[in-house]
Structure formats: structure tokens, C-alpha cells
Amino acid sequence: MRRIIRTIAILSLLGLGIVGYLKERQPKPRVKAPTSRYTGYELNRIAINRAKSFTVLISNEGFFGISRGTGVLIDSTHVLTCAHVAADANGDMWVYPYPASEVVQGRPIFMDTANDLAIVELSKPVIIPHYATFQEMHYDGEPITIIGNTLGAMKWFVSFGIVSGDFDGYILTDGVLYGGNSGGPWINERGEVVAITDWTLLKKGTETEVHGGVSADKVDVFLKAWKAPSAEMIINMSLGDHK
């Protein structure tokens, strides 16, 4: 009887060992990585590619030289950019839609110099599946992707940052930004534009890593005014003042 009990005990221990071994060999379930500050191209590449398609590069070429900027297509024949980019159009304004397989001419038709925004009309339509959409909701620490004509290189340059805060109707970020980015979009992880690049904070004449973008709520107010302009805004445009 004792032998039988001992045999059963040994077999039970062996069975438990085999089960434990099989469990060890089972593939462990994958854990979804949390969203980090720098989300990486693979995680939001669809949103980035869509945003690049509605981001245009701008080259102002005239007697007084060349200046570069960025803009976003809001429909097939209109681009939103900064007023200081449009005001530099002292000669020809050339607009390059992604991926720069063509170039179209543009001309500023409406400006709000107080908020540094402008509408540029294109000489011919640019048809894409999705135009820029604007999202007023944002939060501190929200990951954003910045697209622009960095250093005026006439290339679509992508960098990452976070929403660092708000200041007087502008959104702040510490993302990588240089000259030529003005008018370019800051998109969230859904590809919505939360701001467009406008300025860099200077400290004793030196650029800092703090940048400001015109917030989507200001953009929405501007777009409504463009469709039903007030006398004051028309006067601002006719004066041609800019920052």
C-alpha cells in the first residue's frame, strides 16, 4: 500500500513539473507600450503622412531677395500661413505641394496682422484626399509633431515635441524649430492641427528653445472672419503691416 501511495506522489510531482515547464514555454502576452513624449514615426506615421500632404512649402522670390516659409492647405485653392510669410511676397510667391512634383503660384488675399495670419490663393487647384482640420482642445504635455520648411531648405522636415503651455492665445512648445517653419502645422496624434508655427522666444538676442504657435481657436476665428470680413480687417490687409 505504501508503495502505491509513494508511486502516486512521485507521479503527481512529475505532473506538476511538466505543467510548470509547459507554462514556462508558453509565449508571454505582449504588453502595449505606453505613449511616450516622442511617439516615434511608426506609431503615428499615418497621421504624419496625411499632414505632410496638406503642408506646403513657400518660396517668396523677388527684387529684394528670397524668403521661405510654410503653410497648410485648407481647401483645394487656399493656403493658411503667417501674415509675415505672406507679406514677404514682394515678387513671386511659389507654393510647393507635397511631394513637390509640381509648383503653383500664390498670392495673398486676406491678412490679420494682429494675429499674424494670412490666406493665400493658389493659381490652380491642388486636390488631395484630406485638407487640414483644426482642433482647439489640447493639454499640457500632449505629444505633437511639427512639420515645416526648416531652415528654408525646401524639404518637409518633421520634429517632435510637447505642448509646453499657453501664453496669450498662443501655444508653447520646446520642439525643434528653425527659420522657414513659420506657418507650418503642429499636429496631435490624430493628425489634427492644434497650432501653426509663428515665433521663437529670444533672450538677449539669442534664440531659445521656446517657440510659439498660433492656436487653433485663433485660427478658427480668423477663418470665420475671412468668410465674412470686417472693415477693420480689410483695412489691416490694405495697409500691409506685419510683424
Is 17's pLDDT higher than 90? Answer: no
pLDDT at 22 over 50: no
**45-130 and 143-220, same CATH topology:** yes
| Residue 223 near residue 133 (C-beta atoms within 8 A) | no
> What are the domain boundaries of the chain?
45-130, 143-220
User: Is it the case that residue 83 has pLDDT exceeding 50?
Assistant: yes
- State pLDDT tens for residues 112-124: 999 999 999 999 9
pLDDT value of position 88: 74
Read out DSSP for 5-33?
A: HHHHHHHHHHHHHHHHHHHHHSPPPPPPP
- Across 147-165, average pLDDT: 94
- Mean predicted confidence (pLDDT) in 61-66: 83
State percent of the chain over pLDDT 70: 74
Assess contact for 199 and 221: CB atoms under 8 A: no
Angle CA(224)–CA(167)–CA(58) in degrees, nearest 5?
A: 55
At residue 157 the predicted structure's pLDDT band, cuts being 50, 70 and 90, is very high
Return the SS3 of 216.
helix
Residue 195 has pLDDT above 70, yes or no: yes
Query: How large is the C-alpha radius of gyration of the chain?
Result: 27
Q: How far apart are CA 191 and CA 210, in angstroms?
A: 22
Specify the CATH number for 143-220; select among 3.20.20.450, 3.40.50.10860, 2.40.10.10, 3.40.50.2300.
Answer: 2.40.10.10
pLDDT score at 135: 97
The pLDDT value given to residue 208: 76
CATH number of 45-130: 2.40.10.10
pLDDT at site 228: 85
The pLDDT of residue 243 is above 60: no
Lowest mean pLDDT among 3-17, 66-80, 188-202: 3-17
